[in-house]
Amino acid sequence: MTAFADLDLNRHILKAISAVGFEEPTPIQLEAIPVMLAGKDLIAQAQTGTGKTAAFALPIIQHLKTDTKRPQALVLAPTRELAVQVAETFHQLGRTRNIRSLAVYGGQPIERQLRALRYPVDVVVGTPGRLMDHIRRETLDLRQIRTVIIDEADEMLDMGFIEDIEWILEHVPAERQTALFSATMPSRIVSLARKHLQDPVRVAIQSEHVTVEATRQTYYEVTPRAKMDTLTRILDVENPNSAIIFCRTKREVDELTQKLQSLGYPAEALHGDLSQTQRDRVMLRFRRNQAELLVATDVAARGIDVENISHVINYDIPNDPESYVHRIGRTGRAGRTGNAITLVTPRERRLLRAIEHATGQRMERKPVPSREEVASRHREILANELSGVIDGDSFERAIPIIDDMMEQHPPERIAAAALALLMKERGMTEPTQPTPTAMGGLEPGMDRLLIDLGRNDGIRPNDIVGAIANEARIPGKRIGQIEILDDSTFVDVPTDTSDRVLKAMAQTRLRGRPATVQRATVGAAS
């Protein structure tokens, strides 16, 4: 087995690799890193999610000079999401060398990018249109560019960017290293490579089309800030018998485990920094169901052979499809049905698509459970537990107490009081309507409405204003205060229009999701 240390990467790079939690190189990294370290041009055919960003980022970081203030590497990406993702990868892997990366793309105010480009930048990652804009303005200095990466070339072909790429390549120094990465190799991409690359080395990595048929695969799209809250809701609704929760790095494993434990979830951490004695203790608790949740990194979870794992939860989506398949293969064993759940942020949709392509199976998107659904599930679980106790005849010691109390109270009130006490001890409360936290009292002539979508659903104020203005035919300036909470939104509308808004919004979708709108209660609106 080849390790990163076998690829002639220096100690600074190896330290960064260890810090981000990479354990061993992927196939594309094994093929591409030596070629790029040798300074040769490269044509690499590899799917999204195979680790190709690190395959070109690591050699670039190793070759960067620290005594220059001008950009030395240029990465072309088809979308702003990918540009940001690639720039973040350079930042993470280049921390030990203080590498400075910058993403430039359309849709962001160019003034912000102009200010950033006035400071030293080592690597610029950008979409073709915005890069051309900066080159024309002469705000992007290309004189010291030594490496150019064309990422997702086939997607840029589909988006009509090939002419833009050629224009950019004609403006960078002729003496450079060029690497082209593409999932497919249509003739137009081959022609581009033939024209602009010098005697390139060609590598091709084929993704395995494998999956686990006995496993139900679902995903939740969430913002990074909402991941922890979403995870706890999923755990409450799913109520797993035993689950492995995967994180990318050791630090994230420790942080997530501590948060779960502080909230009362029986969780244990498993990663490479644990001694063998600690690892054995954790695994013994997990096998005995003394810890229902095992929070782990990919490598630390290797060799786990526990047959009754009901759920695998990807708190962090894996960077390559093979890791995903290995993870979810730990559930659904021995003829059982398994559950694989993945949390996906908007920037990670490309990784999700790559995993679906590699497995040949689409994941089912599910809405984040609401507080009402969580409370309902709590009651259902409690009722099932009570039924089990009744069927087991293990409550005889309590009967004399009930007999004495029945002289003063009817049995149904005794049972309800005991159940209420148990619910209180477990922290179970009835769901209540969310309350605005920042909005003041209602202005005269206004009604306050409650929408059952919020921040976790990607809702923004302009979504609310646009929907009401367009569907209910109300000028946007007449719409009052708006407050977006995690799972709901409050909005004030003129009283004489509220019925029209309720009727119109009943047929409206916000961010692609149906919305339920009702009048907020007096208590919530006060």
Q: How confident is the model at residue 526 (pLDDT cuts 50, 70, 90)?
A: very low
Q: 161 near 83, Cβ under 8 Å?
A: no
Of 28-32, 253-257, 310-314, 382-386, give the lowest mean pLDDT range. Answer: 382-386
Of 63-72, 79-88, 391-400, give the lowest mean pLDDT range. Answer: 391-400
Question: Does residue 209 surpass a pLDDT of 80?
Answer: no
Mean pLDDT of 270-298: 85
Half-sphere exposure of residue 177, counting CA atoms within 13 Å on the CB side?
19
Q: 406 near 414, Cβ under 8 Å?
A: yes
d(CA 417, CA 213): 46
CA nearest to 28, candidates 63, 53, 62, 3: 53
Q: How confident is the model at residue 213, as a pLDDT?
A: 60
CATH architecture assignment, domain 446-525 = 2-Layer Sandwich (3.30)
Listed in sequence order, the residues at least 6 apart from 223 whose beta carbon sits closer than 8 Å to its beta carbon are 345, 346, 455, 456, 458
CATH architecture assignment, domain 4-204 = 3-Layer(aba) Sandwich (3.40)
Q: 44 near 203, Cβ under 8 Å?
A: yes
Tokens linked to 446: 């206004």
Half-sphere exposure of residue 10, counting CA atoms within 13 Å on the CB side?
11
Q: 428 near 477, Cβ under 8 Å?
A: no
User: pLDDT of 157-178, one tens digit each?
Assistant: 888 899 999 999 999 999 999 9
Cα angle, residue 198 at apex, residues 73 and 186 outer, rounded to 5°: 90
215-365 CATH fold? Rossmann fold (3.40.50)
Mean pLDDT of 220-237: 90
Domains 4-204 and 215-365 share a fold: yes
Percent of the chain's residues with pLDDT above 70: 91
Q: Rounded to 10 degrees, what is the CA torsion of 162, 167, 173, 175?
A: 40
429: left (phi over 0), alpha (psi -120 to 50) or beta: beta
Domain extent listing, the chain: 4-204, 215-365, 372-425, 446-525
Q: 211 near 359, Cβ under 8 Å?
A: yes
Cα angle, residue 182 at apex, residues 180 and 187 outer, rounded to 5°: 90
Q: How confident is the model at residue 166, as a pLDDT?
A: 95
Q: What's this model's pTM, rounded to 2 decimal places? A: 0.50
DSSP character at residue 38: T
Could you tell me where the DSSP H helices lie in 426-497? 461-471
CA nearest to 19, candidates 100, 94, 122: 94
**Straight-line distance from the first to the last Cα atom of the chain, in angstroms, rounded to the nearest whole number:** 65
Cα angle, residue 189 at apex, residues 184 and 191 outer, rounded to 5°: 140
Tokens linked to 387: 């039924």
d(CA 453, CA 451): 6
Kind of pairing, strands 201-204 and 267-270?
A: unpaired
d(CA 78, CA 155): 7
d(CA 436, CA 455): 14
Tokens linked to 116: 């950033």
d(CA 371, CA 358): 35
| Location of structure tokens 């030293």 | 120
Amino acid residing at 235: L
Q: How confident is the model at residue 177, as a pLDDT?
A: 97
Mean pLDDT of 238-249: 90
Other CB atoms within a 10 A radius of the CB of residue 181 amount to: 26
473: left (phi over 0), alpha (psi -120 to 50) or beta: left
Q: How confident is the model at residue 73 (pLDDT cuts 50, 70, 90)?
A: very high
Tokens linked to 328: 């979810």
Amino acid residing at 2: T
Percent of the chain's residues with pLDDT above 90: 38
Q: How confident is the model at residue 521, as a pLDDT?
A: 59
